[in-house]
Structure 1
């Protein structure tokens, strides 16, 4: 997004009063980079309707999808300025602001989807959401973004099949070390340039969740999708503390009730989008491989040592590993 346009939008929001235009109706502006058909946007629309219903129109949420207000990083910066009220980002985007979010990029930090939900929905998840407050970024909830797996031009049954392959990764040291530990060659490439890079064999594969694999059309050049499910990077609904402080206790209660009710809506929509994506890529000739995950888990064990000298993050990692998937709390 053009930097001048972003600054202009920020100034416009500041001039218009940010959180609300008059005393009778408060309006929260929510910007995100997703398509309107995405499960998170659908959940946000539900949340906006519920806020309006609960407050009898006294509190409203205006949603600006498709990145019209900027990238994820730009949106976070607008929240810090108080020029935007709410946004949705990946934990990978916010880890540059709040280091606790780095742990979500660790491979197999979650044993299963149920384990992830137990952590994210419980007191430990709330603890992490609260960590951003000192940076003016209050986490409201986690949304499901599924598990990331490898898709390549050659079949991957085990880590040894990644040896010598160039795999696109995000700009994250954890992603680099994970692919390197499995024998691959990590190669950072922007998401927008990845299709061309795959097509031109600049890289041999990449990794992402099923809907992203399908919607990006990467299945056209990568005919093997290995569901090794190495990471589960959730999305986070973030609110500016500047905006939150402008709400009274009743308005906060309305907002948080709507947020809480939006979580199962998003997860149900996400589950449908995953199923539809996998069916669609199979129809396009992609072979789905369901490997034994243990060799992948064993291969990346040393990646955790990245944070061994960081006492705060190391203790957080141990608490997540010990969380009981059957309970929304962690075992001490």
Structure 2
């Protein structure tokens, strides 16, 4: 009998040891923040993503969505996630290029002509391989990279018809090399600041200009502090939904697949909203007294053509062209 008790004790100890060494896939909450307003297409897409994930996983994966920079600026949320906090966000992919340099190509100037091209490339084997490197090198997991926020246009206090008109203009942009060098090549002085500070910076004159997509111009009410929107469309803002690897690893493989699939599906939903609402957003901005102008893009394309070589992205550009068959 003593031998039976001893054997039982050993079995229980082994079972306890195994339970400690194996991941426990209990209910997990993903906290996802955005700097944008709840009615922005990205905000609407995240709310739909939340509802569908919770339903499809039977509540085993919960999603909390935080709008309007409640969890901080995008860079701050990325830093929190890398430090192990349960935080995710929708980010321009260029911010992730400090970990995987090739990812910067997604934000390269005048690269994609349509959302469909960006969506195709974001799901290509080549791009997904770069995404897989991200977890190992940064502690971030990219769920999907097809969340389209629209074309970035120049927002200024004076008319713009060529790169020469931007000389000396302090223009807010995203603080990643591809963005900074693109804005510099366009003739302006790139000035990275947090998105939540753009309105007041324009209002106070600490910056002269900004660049943003139509829905964000409207959502942030920038029409109150600018006079001109020039439709340069210099970068198509294709963003990624990323989460902390620590939180992601608490989810079962079966539920991980569900979450990834829904991230792609709702990326397409949010992107279509962006496309559908974009022109109306510009019309609303115009109705508030802002001049919306078309412009000859040829001088701008010529001005930024050297950015690819400067940042050593020619090979990645060739990969994009191969995937898109052009």
Coarse TM-score class (shorter-chain normalised): 0.7 to 0.9
Corresponding residue for residue 252 of structure 1: 256
- Return the alpha-carbon distance in structure 2 between the equivalents of residues 193 and 85 of structure 1: 21
CA apart distance, 1:25: 5.2
8 Å contact kept, 1:92–1:101? yes
Corresponding residue for residue 39 of structure 2: 37
- Return the alpha-carbon distance in structure 1 between the equivalents of residues 74 and 296 of structure 2: 35
Does 1:152 pair with 2:152? no
**Compared with structure 1, are the counterparts of its residues 207 and 63 closer, same or farther at alpha carbon in structure 2 (3 Å cutoff)?**
closer
Q: How do residues 280-319 of structure 1 correspond to structure 2 at under 5 angstroms?
A: 280-308=284-312, 313-319=313-319
| Secondary structure at 1:31 match in 2 | strand
**Compared with structure 1, are the counterparts of its residues 198 and 61 closer, same or farther at alpha carbon in structure 2 (3 Å cutoff)?**
closer
- Return the alpha-carbon distance in structure 2 between the equivalents of residues 152 and 82 of structure 1: 39
CA apart distance, 1:301: 1.0
| Secondary structure at 2:215 match in 1 | helix
Does 1:263 pair with 2:267? yes
- Return the alpha-carbon distance in structure 2 between the equivalents of residues 196 and 263 of structure 1: 30
5+ unaligned residues in a row in structure 2: which ranges? Answer: 1-23
Q: Equivalent of 1:178, from 178, 182, 185?
A: 182
- Return the alpha-carbon distance in structure 1 between the equivalents of residues 25 and 179 of structure 2: 48
8 Å contact kept, 1:223–1:287? yes
Q: How many residues align?
A: 300
| Secondary structure at 1:67 match in 2 | coil
**Residue-by-residue CA offset, 1:219-265 (whole Å, 9 max, x unaligned):** 22322211110012322111333333333232223222322321222
8 Å contact kept, 2:149–2:274? yes
Corresponding residue for residue 19 of structure 1: none
Corresponding residue for residue 28 of structure 1: 29
Corresponding residue for residue 104 of structure 2: 102
- Return the alpha-carbon distance in structure 1 between the equivalents of residues 82 and 163 of structure 2: 41
**Compared with structure 1, are the counterparts of its residues 161 and 250 closer, same or farther at alpha carbon in structure 2 (3 Å cutoff)?**
same
| Secondary structure at 1:41 match in 2 | helix
**Residue-by-residue CA offset, 1:132-166 (whole Å, 9 max, x unaligned):** 11122111102111111112122212223323433
**Compared with structure 1, are the counterparts of its residues 149 and 321 closer, same or farther at alpha carbon in structure 2 (3 Å cutoff)?**
farther
**Compared with structure 1, are the counterparts of its residues 82 and 187 closer, same or farther at alpha carbon in structure 2 (3 Å cutoff)?**
closer
**Residue-by-residue CA offset, 1:173-213 (whole Å, 9 max, x unaligned):** 33333233233333444444433443454443221111222
- Return the alpha-carbon distance in structure 1 between the equivalents of residues 50 and 197 of structure 2: 34
CA apart distance, 1:298: 0.9
8 Å contact kept, 1:90–1:234? yes
Corresponding residue for residue 11 of structure 2: none
Report the aligned-residue RMSD.
2.6
| Secondary structure at 2:29 match in 1 | strand
8 Å contact kept, 2:40–2:219? no
Bigger Rg, structure 1 or 2: 2
8 Å contact kept, 1:31–1:68? no
Q: Equivalent of 1:63, from 59, 62, 65?
A: 65
| Secondary structure at 2:295 match in 1 | coil
TM-score between both structures, scaled by the size of structure 2: 0.80
- Return the alpha-carbon distance in structure 1 between the equivalents of residues 25 and 105 of structure 2: 42
8 Å contact kept, 2:30–2:243? no
5+ unaligned residues in a row in structure 1: which ranges? Answer: 1-22, 325-329
8 Å contact kept, 1:115–1:323? no
| Secondary structure at 2:143 match in 1 | strand
